[in-house]
Structure 1
Amino acid sequence: MSDSNTTNFTNPSTFILLGIPGLEAAHVWISIPFCTMYAIAILGNFTILFIVKREPSLHGPMYYFLCMLAVTDLVLSTTIFPKMLSIFWFNSREINFSACLTQMYFIHCFSAMESGIFAAMALDRYVAICHPLRHSTILTNPIVAKIGLAMVLRCGMLALPYPFLARQWPYCRTNIIPQHLCLHMAVVNLACADIRVSSYYGLFVQFSVMGLDGIFIVVSYIQILRVIFSLPTKDARIKTFGTCGSHLFVILTFYTPRLFISLLYRFGQNVALNFHVLLSRVYLFMPPMLNPIIYGVRTKQIWDRLLQLFSHEGA
């Protein structure tokens, strides 16, 4: 393996992922918490899918969207963690150019899909709280399926230009990516060309997907809060708002780091590289691990079924 960053090529056959620059000697130790996060993400999301499938009372829009989120988190974490752990454990830094572009596509596609699922969950909470008597007639199973299909098509099509844009640029300076995965801007920043098209398209996707989803979520919760504050008693307001607590928490853990890192990649050239790499881990790794924990603990129906499952096995 050559780590030279002065190779003369137009299109590299491989890229080299550095992992965490400057901390290569500690990669094995650093891998322990990330391996734990991956295990929790896999176990937690499969548990959500198993419980919802097994319990007929959970076959409703909220839990169908939660299953979509679990599948998305499973694909996203499996796209990221295995290659990262191979870097930490086996120093396997090379990644084929096409494999890098494939990883790029899946990361951006399924990250955007998470955003769409959160917007769909906000719709479910809006209908459940603002129009409770019409919830079962508005969000029918065919409508939920169409919403899921629309999210897959939207995110799949919007993420498709990322690898094509990255492939068209000449890479004549270096093939070393100073982190552990192939994010769009991390790759195209290596090109020896004017990459404004890639940068502008990335911003367009950020605003048209996460921006519009974020606006939809905010508008939905404004309407939800209006209904909650109009309830006659404090206990009723707290109980109703509690049904949205899990959703609000995962939204904050999802959107805040993503917005910050997206702007940082484009406008934070003077920020330390380790800070870039750290944030890229936070905004990609935390949601797949936290989502099943938050929904499993804070959603009474899922928590009760989980306790029943363990109590039967322990009997």
Structure 2
Amino acid sequence: CRSLRLVSEGEILSIKEVFEKALQGLAKEDQNLPQVQNILPLLCCGIGVHHSGLLPILRELIEILFQEGLVKVLFATETFALGLNMPARTCIFTNCRKFDGQDHRWISSGEYIQMAGRAGRRGIDDKGCVITMFDENLEPETARDILCGQPSPLVSTFHLNYNMILNAMRSSAVDPEKIITKSFFQYQSCISVSSAELRRKELEAEVADLQVPSEHDDREAEAFCELLELSNDLRSEISFFSTKPDVALGVLRPGRVVKVLEPIASSSSSSSPTVDWGWGVVLGFGRRTKTKSTEEAVGGSLPSSTSREAFNFLDVCW
């Protein structure tokens, strides 16, 4: 880098002058930091770096030098692209993947547009040049989304709280209502209200065009509802009959796929609430007898008796 000089001797003097003035606000210990000492030789070659790890004063210094054209090549993260007046002749993407705090992903179309939009200096360059380097295989759909996708919508995050109102009321020169009126949030709210008002008028026009049904149509609607209710009742009866053990025994063969519904309430009605256990495969179906003991009070004694109760079982595997 020392053998590569992209600036003239006069520009080097200007860089050193701006650098020394910027460091006057730093303590002596901070001026001796490695990043402060190592940045000046790079700047004197016309090369700069800009990332969140630098001191704020150094980032501001590099931004000023870049705006003045004293930094010819700048290595920067996407944060630098948020500047309003940071144009360059050429933008180079060395990689189109980024770490967003959770995972490595492809940059979005909005991020690409924001960074690539730095290329081309107004009034100086006829056109800007963007060089994108892909160091791994990329699906055509992903490349199309990055290069030709729609930018991310700009949505205001302005939030009015009590502290903001109190701080504004402390100053006689600040009017809270004027701040809200001139905010971008208010501008977007007015647009959304206009859209909602237009939609309301469209819906009112659709309602006005609707034809009121006649008495004949009402009778047809009532007849349809009765038929629909009758159809539901018949479906319930068919379902209740088909699930009886005597009827289901002929079709519940091993290997058959069934949907298991367990009644919540002890009711024989098919409309009682059930627990859906999902789909399963029938392994077996049979009938067993369970012995049940009972007691009766006769003459002060409690003789016990037993009875047998038959029940059906179904072995299902999920």
TM value normalised by structure 1: 0.18
More helix by share: 1
TM value normalised by structure 2: 0.18
More strand by share: 2
